[in-house]
Amino acid sequence: MKNIAVIGAGTMGNGIAHTFAQFGYKTNLIDISEESLKKGMKTISGNLDRMLSKEKISEDDKTNTLNNITTFTQLEEGVKNVDLVVEAATENVDLKLKIFKQLDEFCSSETVLASNTSSISITKIASVVSNPERVIGMHFMNPVPVMKLVEIIRGYNTSDEVTSNIMELSKKFKKEPVEVNDYPGFVANRILMPMINESIETLYNGVAGVQEIDTVMKLGMAHPMGPLQLADFIGLDVCLSILEVMYSGFKNPKYAPCPLLVNMVQAGKLGVKSGEGFYDYSGSRKAEKVSSQFSS
C-alpha cells in the first residue's frame, strides 16, 4: 500500500493524514469544507513544528511530510487510484453509511476500506459495500501522531488477508496494532467510557468536585489525565455518542449516559473544542480552571 486517502480533516483525520505522510505515504486528505482542509493543514504544520523544536524530526522531514499530502473537496477525485481509504468523519452512523456507499461506487474493488469509528459496528458499515470482506476498523487514538495504539476491528466478514495486511501496515508507521472483534465500543471505549460516565455520575451526585475526582484518578491510579479532563479532551458530544451506541447495542443500563452529560452536550458545553466543559479553556487548554458551573 502506497497511496492512502483519509476522509475528514478534523482532529482525527488530520492526525491520521499527518502520520501516513510522515512515513512516506502519498496521502489524499478529503473534506467537503475547504476551510476545514486549511485548518487541518495548519494543525499538521503546527504539530510538525513542535516535533521539529523537540528535534524529533528534521526540516526536510517536515517539508516532505507536507508535500506528501494533497487536499480534495470532492470524494470521487480524492479516492481515485488509492490502495486504502480511512474514513474519519463525524461519529454518525447515517453519515458513515452514506460515505461507504459512495466509496463502494468510486473505489476499485481491491481498495481496502477502513473506518476510524470509535464505536459503530464495522459489520453494519460493511453491509452497504458490495464486497464487505475488504472493510475493517482502524481505530486510532488521539493525538494520532503520538499515541501508539491502533485498534484493528474485524467485521463479521472481514477477510484474514485484509486483517493481516492492515496489521502489518500499522507496524510500518510505528504503531502497535491490536486485533479485536466487532462489538459495541470494541475494547478501548467499552472500558473507558463507563469509567468516564461513572466519573460524571460521581460529580452529578455531589460525591466530589471536578478537580478532586481527577486528582484521585491521577495520583491514586497513575492515570496521566483525569477522566473529566479526558472527557473534555475527547469531546463530550463524542463521549455521549459512544455511550448511546453501547447502550443501544447491549441494552444494559450500565452504559446509559449520565443526565449531566446529556445536559452539557445539549447546552453546547463540549469540552476543549467549545472552550468549556468540566473545565474552562478560555485562557488555557491545560484544564487549569474549573468551569464556573462546577466551581464553589
To the query of whether residue 223 is one of the catalytic residues in this protein, the response is no
**Joined grid coordinates for residue 268:** 453546547
Q: Which of 249, 229, 251, 250 is nearest to 239 (CA)?
A: 229
Which of 189, 197, 241, 291 is labelled catalytic?
189
**Measuring CA to CA, how many Å separate 117 from each of 185, 196, 220, 270?**
9, 18, 31, 19
To the query of whether residue 18 is one of the catalytic residues in this protein, the response is no
Which of 18, 87, 139, 170 is labelled catalytic?
139
Which of 87, 91, 151, 276 is labelled catalytic?
151
The H-or-E segment that residue 242 falls in is helix 236-250
The H-or-E segment that residue 232 falls in is helix 227-234
- The CB density around residue 2, as the number of other CB atoms within 10 Å, is 9
**From CA 37, how far away is CA 8, in angstroms rounded?**
8
Residue type, 63: T
Which of 115, 116, 118, 197 is labelled catalytic?
118
Which residues are annotated as catalytic?
118, 139, 151, 189
